[in-house]
Structure 1
Amino acid sequence: MSETVATPHFAGSPAQPGARGHTVNPTEIAIGVVIGRTSEFFDFFVFAIASVLVFPERVFPFVDPVTGVLYSFAIFALAFIARPFGTWLFMAIDRLHGKGTKLTIALFLLGTSTVVVAFLPDYQDVGAAAIWLLALFRIGQGVALGGTWDGLASLLAMNAPENQRGWWAMVPQLGAPFGLIVASGLFAFFYGFLPTEEFDAWGWQFPFFVAFAINVVALFARLRIVATPEYVRQFERRELQATRVRKTVRQYGRYIIVGAFAPLASFAMFHMVTVFPLSWVELFTKEQVTRFLIIEAVCAVIGALAIVASGMLADKYGRRNLLGVTALLIAVFSGFAPSLLAQGVAGEIIYMVFGFALLGVSFGQCSGVVASNFPRNYRYTGSAVVSDLAWLFGAGFAPFVALYLTYHLGLVAAGLYLLSGAVATMLALRYNDLLEYQE
């Protein structure tokens, strides 16, 4: 395999013919990456919102509303538990059949696992089978997410010019607010404008149908990326070749541990301003859920702008410095901000605006923060495993833990989970500095 290092082409560079003869420029690559991430996060948020508004009544009608949402959040976490298995499975498919086959299977599995939720029978019709089916569909989403990893999030940053790495690192992260905007907007429309009977009968299903369509679009966008000369060059340099997960973990476990804990502040914050506030509003306030979903969508726009700003700030002050400062600010935020949710609409808006602004700056730079520690031929698989574990530890149980603590100890206690993520990030960044110093 050739080890010739070609100079990556970024914004302003001339486009070159792709592997199949078409011309693709870096802007198209960035758009493809954003579309792919948007599809993933849209599926994520559709299931999360339904965990608050739909599943407690349809799947867990035999318990009180709070317990129903907690049970839904427990099933929600299954995808994060299943995702590392999906990475292992699809890395094997990658090695045997190539990335095109891997992405096609993964995205169709993701879309199918999402759309079949729309056909989930009620507990009153099939009993406990409804719970098992919902859990099965959620596990399917998690396995599929493990296969959608394309490695471009960290590779864009690592191969960008030295003074533009922060800018290119933030591009894939825009998929999160875009996915939330679409998901919140759809649920706000159907939940707010349909009679309750019609929403319960069919309105809640529509976002799940849309998810499958978006995944098809994302599939073609990602297959186009695989055909670009930039992607081929990275493959030739062995930066996009899949290695065995077990071997990667065994040889570079310390990098994986550091990488998994470094973005925990961002990932914990992620659910504390997206999923958890919706459950609070639905269960403990008389606030209109539709209005809050609109607030959430608007604040997601603020989050997107903050992600863009993170690129400029990281290039000016350093990525590691930015993550450290935002982790400290998130720790401060965790001490008082959750109580704002109990202060009416004004408090909710303040919480959401500042929360999304902090999230955007932090989340925009948390992808692949220690990916450069991996040797070239282990970066692709190592970064995938790091991402799986970071989402599992930082976000997978966040809605459940935050709601449980709030229900039993009050809103201030919910901030403890967020604080733990901020502390983990600061410790991981410090340990990463020590690793770099030793080497």
Structure 2
Amino acid sequence: MEDAKPMLLVLSLLVVAILPTLRANIADFDEVWKKRAEDAKKASLEAYDPHPERVTQNVNEEVHEALEGDDGKRRNLKKYNGPCTATNPIDRCWRCDQDWASNRKKLADCALGFGRKATGGKDGEIYVVTDPSDDSLLDPKPGTLRYAVLQPQPLWIIFAHNMMIKLSQELMVTSNKTIDGRGANVHIANGGQITLQFVRNVIIHGLHVHDNKAGNGGMIRDSFDHFGLRTRSDGDGISLFGATDVWIDHISMWNCQDGLIDAIMASTAITISNCHFTHHNEVLLFGGSDTYSDDKVMQVTLAFNHFGKGLVQRMPRIRWGFVHVVNNDYTHWLMYAIGGSQQPTVISQGNRFVAPPSLFAKEVTKRGYTPESVWKSWNWRSEGDLLLNGAFFVESGSPITNLDTKDMIPAKPGSFVARLTRFAGALACVKGKPC
């Protein structure tokens, strides 16, 4: 029996290591969390679109309309000080309105792609964050961001002034919330991550999120009327766990301890757009486990993002789901850009891929340790991508024309990407002027 003790200790440590992933850092999976998990699974199934190709077609149509008559040659990436120019269809919906600050909720009508149904706090009051502190995890002060995101009603959350918010532990965001950083220079940095766990209908816009660290956990309030013991958090920028109808737009992100954005455990109906990612290793993770087949419902749109300096891999790395990668600018990677396992579908349209100097990193795609005899049937397609400096995309599966639509409009080609992504990242919006 003495010889068995070391093995029992190893097994115990394995259980401790595995459970936080399966249970999303919930130490006590009580009746409240069980109900939330059940509701989240139902929401994922409801949000799943059985015809994802129609969603990709809609995005392409909107891009064509936004660039009607544009020859795509206006690619000067120097700082722009001229009149407002909305260079893609999402931005065209709201950016050049000089009264945007009075019409903030117009943003809720502007999403495209799989997260297009996210309206966040559109049906609620505007809540102004005035206090950047995060001193109490159980009884947060009114005026703080933590207090705002825990309220039970829909809220459109804005910021009174520029602020640096260092989260003492992960920030548990509840359903029907918009976090809108426009008009202030807001940094969520050097502390805990933003967590969307078993929630739906959330918009996060206009923030700088960087240098987040893993949290030690502890007693943390996760809603207005519930708190519980949390285990260690990962140190992501933004973590989606069983979350649906989520739109992440115009966020500048870099250098977090784990991923910049992770979407796992049947998260779906997600759009990530107009973001600027820099200086990070494992950038985006969609699907956290090769064994969690419920991630088959995961559907994500990546549009008009700039993958910039100092990035290594996972832009994104996908398991099981369907990802539309459209009109993004990939100007830096060290290992690969798009990777995956467990038969995900990847539709890459009109992106610009600039390969690094290394002869060993020219391939855009990476399919892990899966043999070609398996991955050759996965549907990974490239259409209109601009492949530069020796970049190449290894396709597999069926051609795009075999998708379930006969009139799919192609995305704008990769030569338009510099214009479409010109204003990626958090914007310096000023009240009374177009953003």
Same fold (TM over 0.5): no
The answer to which structure has the higher strand fraction is 2
Higher relative contact order (CA 8 A, sep 6+): 1
Instruction: Specify the TM-score bucket, using the shorter chain as the normaliser.
Output: under 0.3
TM-score by length of 1: 0.25
The answer to which structure has the higher helix fraction is 1
TM-score by length of 2: 0.25
